[in-house]
Amino acid sequence: MTDNELEQLRYPIGRYEKPAAFDAAQLPEWLGVLRALPSWMDACIENLDEQQLHTPYRPGGWTIQQVVHHVADSHLNAYIRLKLALTEDNPTVAPYDENAWATLPDVEAVPVNVSVTMLHTIHRRLVAVLERLSPADMERTYFHPQHQRTFPIWELIALYVWHSRHHTGHIQQLRDRMGWW
């Protein structure tokens, strides 16, 4: 497999590119993606069996099961970071080791539909908060010690819109390659 082919498997929609600034005209699209992610994930895992769920989306990558649980873990962290940024002055958020989380026992023991249900509930709450933010709220921030920088809420939204498309892209791409639709 060439480096270019591996890059396409790792980043099916391309690498994340931070927007230069907040553009309020983009917010409806962003909220639409966040609103749709749980249903997209439902479609991604529909009719997959245990063997398929344990198939990595690329050589050396996570299995579909790990990806689904990761998205729920990650988006739960995003929701908490959003709430902290809205209620505290530039709080420092806790980083976490996503690779270590992907190998914890719950990832193997808990069915993926539990994490998809989490996504339905998290995203319902997440979008409800985001729909009601003022332009000033969009500029509220949190500090991420792993990246050693401050993130405004609008960038959290942009990142998780990309993250939603990125990981559903992993599963869709694998299903396409394997003919699992």
Specify if 48 maps to a domain. Answer: yes
- Count of domains in the chain? 1
Domain that holds residue 140: 25-178
Specify if 145 maps to a domain. Answer: yes
CATH number for 76: 1.20.120.450
What span, in angstroms and rounded, lies between the C-alpha atoms of 138 and 130? 9
Specify if 173 maps to a domain. Answer: yes
What span, in angstroms and rounded, lies between the C-alpha atoms of 167 and 27? 21
pLDDT at 181 over 90: no
Note the pLDDT of residue 118.
98
pLDDT category, 1, cuts 50, 70, 90? confident
Mean pLDDT of 1-9: 93
Residue 81 has phi, psi (to 5 degrees) of -65, -40
Percent of the chain that is helix, strand, coil (3-state, to 5): 65, 5, 30
Report whether 65 contacts 45 (CB < 8 A).
no
List, for residues 112-167, the tens digit of each pLDDT value.
Answer: 999 999 999 999 999 999 999 999 999 999 999 999 999 999 999 999 999 999 99
